[in-house]
């Protein structure tokens, strides 16, 4: 279950974008063996567009006459939807364009949003082609939910919109380094994890965030989500065999007690989007320019040595990784996790294995910290490194972000 904000019209004219290179290069076969018949039987007329290079989908939706389409659906990994979202946000009519219903059919090696949608719908856990079939049914049902987008400002001043994650350190390195094992499909992340664990690194940087206080009014677009408690899966299982850490600093239910308030920074100093003329979108009222220190109501993390920083806004980081089981597409929150330097390899491995079932917060690991936040800033101090947004590598350097609740619409069945 989740918040439903409408349905796609019938018949629904779908622009279906397919990346033939995604995953093991099987998206076209998946289309003919599963999707074509399913959409035809469900009376969903669609036009297939096969991308022939990176950014092709982005350009197509930037130029498209959107009055001709009731939904934009991708058959690929998360990377192609990232292009579609940003193509829509680069349009003059972005405000209307980004309301075009978006759908995703998992055909890549990183299918985090598809896995999240399947999970939100209450459908049983499946992966691979079964996940594709499940997402096909949800798509045919055509129920719409609001989708939060996170606005990100990169070192160059470039602004991008993200629906899934911002990662630095271990997770980002695995994602990019595992590209070379693309031929093995989804398990490329497992292979990459083993390699990176063997050569575990520490990443220096500064991290700050604007927490969501537990007493804070829920934003207007947020109503109660699924019938099951969002934290139930955190509490129901203790798969790591250790007791949960109840110290206030490491519990998801007790955000940093030093936080005083959540008032907005002075509206006279919103972050400048000058010089990024191709980037439209709503103003980021919570951010100040990167060369100024963060507003006084932000929390600055005192530690500067990290193994990973992961800001995620969907439940799944991959088909088999529930990084934030409490997350919903429209919860108005960035779920910020970080792991501090000092964690042993076995302890990190235990966390990653627990993440398969979303039970990592019950491991009682003192190096893992979690906060629900509205905005964050990350300033890497190490001279080189990898930052990913929705699994795609972006320029390395300081980055800051704020969530915009329900900016887009997602077909969630
Ligand atoms: P995967 O999950 O397998 O990584 P993605 O959908 O994330 O699949 O796509 C991976 C990358 O391929 C993205 O950066 C996307 O922009 C790019 N891409 C899209 N179409 C093509 C194409 N025809 N050839 C090569 N790369 C492409
Ligand atoms: Mg990808």
pLDDT at 347 over 60: yes
Asked if residue 230 has pLDDT above 80, the reply is no
Among 52, 65, 70, 78, the one annotated catalytic:
78
The position carrying tokens 């009376």 is 43
Q: Compute the Cα dihedral for 404, 405, 407, 412 and give only its sign.
A: positive
Over range 236-265, report the average pLDDT.
34
Q: Which of 268, 312, 307, 324 is nearest to 401 (CA)?
A: 312
Say what the pLDDT of residue 222 is. 41
Q: Are 168 and 386 in contact (CB under 8 A)?
A: yes
Could you tell which of 19, 26, 49, 174 is best to mutate to test the pocket of ligand 1, judged by most ligand atoms within 8 Å of the CB? 19
Residue 217 has a pLDDT of: 53
Protein residue with least CA distance to atom 11, ligand 1: 79
Partners of residue 408 on adjacent β-strands? 147
- Strand segments, DSSP code E, in 199-301 are 203-211, 299-300
**Does 224 have pLDDT greater than 70?**
no
**Which pLDDT band holds residue 3 (cuts at 50, 70, 90)?**
confident
For the CA of 51, the nearest atom of ligand 1: 23
Is 78 known to be catalytic?
yes
State yes or no: pLDDT of 231 exceeds 60: no
Nearest CA owner, ligand 1 atom 19:
54
Least confident of 117-121, 165-169, 256-260, 336-340: 256-260
Out of 79, 102, 114, mutate this one to test ligand 1's pocket (max ligand atoms within 8 Å of CB): namely: 79
- Residue 368 — φ and ψ, nearest 5°? -95, 125
> Which of the two residues, 36 and 223, has the higher pLDDT score?
36
Is the shortest distance between the CB of 173 and ligand 1 below 6 Å?
no
Parse the chain into domains and list their residue ranges.
6-150, 159-407
**Does residue 78 line the site of ligand 1, with CB under 6 A?**
yes
Ligand 2 geometric centre to CA of 317 (Å): 11
Report CA(19)–ligand 2 centroid distance (Å). 11
Q: Residue 323: its pLDDT value, please? A: 97
Ligand 1 atom index nearest CA of 23: 3
User: For position 276, what pLDDT does the model report?
Assistant: 46
Q: Report how far ligand 2's centroid is from the alpha carbon of 104 (Å).
A: 13
Q: Taking residues 87-112, report their average pLDDT.
A: 97
Q: Give the number of the ligand closest to the Cα of residue 106.
A: 1
Q: What CATH number belongs to 6-150?
A: 3.40.50.10330
pLDDT for 11? 82
Q: Is the confidence metric ipTM above 0.90 for this complex?
A: yes
Residue 43 has pLDDT above 90, yes or no: no
Predicted pLDDT of residue 223: 39
In the chain, the percentage of residues whose pLDDT exceeds 90 is 75
Ligand 1: distance of its center to the CA of 296 in Å?
40
Going by C-alpha positions, the residue among 1, 3, 9, 84 that lies closest to residue 405 is: 3
Q: Is 77 exposed, middle or buried (0-12, 13-18, 19+ CB in 10 A)?
A: buried
Least confident of 195-204, 210-219, 353-362: 210-219
User: pLDDT digits over 261-319, tens only?
Assistant: 333 333 334 454 444 445 689 999 999 999 999 999 999 999 999 999 999 999 999 99
Work out which ligand 1 atom sits closest to the CA atom of 74. 6
For residue 52 and ligand 1, the question of a CB distance below 6 A is answered with: yes
Whether residue 338 is predicted with pLDDT greater than 60 in this model: the reply is yes
**Three-state DSSP string of 123-189:** CCCCCHHHHHHHHHHHHHHCEEEEEEEEEEECCCCCEEEECCEEEEEHHHHHHHHHHHHHHHHHHHH
> What is the number of alpha carbons within 13 Å of residue 190 lying toward its C-beta?
9
- pLDDT at position 139 over 90: yes
For 159-407, CATH gives: 2.60.200.40
pLDDT at position 380 over 90? yes
């Amino acid at each position: 279950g989740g918040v439903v904000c409408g349905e796609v019209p019938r018949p629904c004219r779908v622009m279906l974008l397919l990346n033939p290179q995604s995953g093991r290069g099987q998206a076209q076969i998946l289309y003919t063996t599963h999707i074509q018949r399913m959409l035809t039987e469900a009376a969903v007329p669609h036009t297939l567009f096969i991308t022939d290079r990176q950014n092709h989908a982005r350009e197509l939706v930037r130029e498209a006459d959107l009055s001709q389409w009731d939904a934009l659906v991708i058959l690929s990994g998360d990377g192609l939807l990232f292009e579609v979202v940003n193509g829509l946000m680069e349009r003059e009519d972005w405000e209307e364009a980004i309301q075009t219903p978006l759908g995703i059919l998992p055909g890549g090696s990183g299918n985090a949003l598809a896995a999240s949608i399947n999970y939100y719908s209450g459908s049983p856990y499946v992966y691979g082609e079964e996940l594709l079939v499940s997402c096909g049914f949800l798509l045919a049902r055509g129920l719409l939910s609001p989708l939060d987008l996170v606005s990100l400002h990169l070192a160059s001043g470039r602004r991008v919109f993200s629906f899934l994650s911002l990662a630095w350190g271990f997770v980002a390195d695995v994602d990019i380094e595992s590209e070379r094992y693309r031929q093995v499909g989804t398990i490329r992340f497992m292979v990459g994890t083993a390699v990176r664990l063997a050569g575990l690194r520490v990443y220096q940087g500064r991290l700050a965030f604007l927490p969501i206080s537990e007493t804070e009014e829920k934003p207007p677009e947020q109503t109660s989500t699924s019938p099951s408690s969002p934290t139930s899966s955190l509490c129901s299982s203790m798969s790591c065999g250790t007791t949960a850490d109840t110290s206030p600093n490491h519990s998801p239910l007790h955000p940093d007690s030093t936080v005083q308030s959540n008032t907005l920074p002075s509206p006279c100093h919103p972050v400048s989007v000058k010089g990024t003329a191709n980037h439209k979108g709503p103003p980021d009222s919570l951010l100040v320019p990167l060369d100024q220190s963060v507003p006084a109501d932000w929390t600055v993390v005192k530690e500067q040595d990290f193994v990973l920083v992961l800001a995620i806004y969907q439940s799944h980081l991959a088909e088999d990784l529930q990084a934030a089981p409490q997350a919903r597409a429209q919860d108005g929150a960035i779920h910020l996790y970080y792991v501090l330097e000092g964690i042993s390899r076995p302890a990190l491995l235990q966390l990653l294995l627990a993440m398969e079932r979303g039970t990592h917060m019950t491991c009682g690991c003192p190096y893992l910290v979690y906060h629900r936040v509205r905005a964050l800033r990350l300033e890497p101090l190490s001279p080189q490194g990898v930052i990913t947004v929705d699994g795609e590598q972006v320029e390395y350097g300081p980055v800051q972000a704020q969530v915009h609740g329900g900016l887009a619409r997602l077909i969630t069945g």
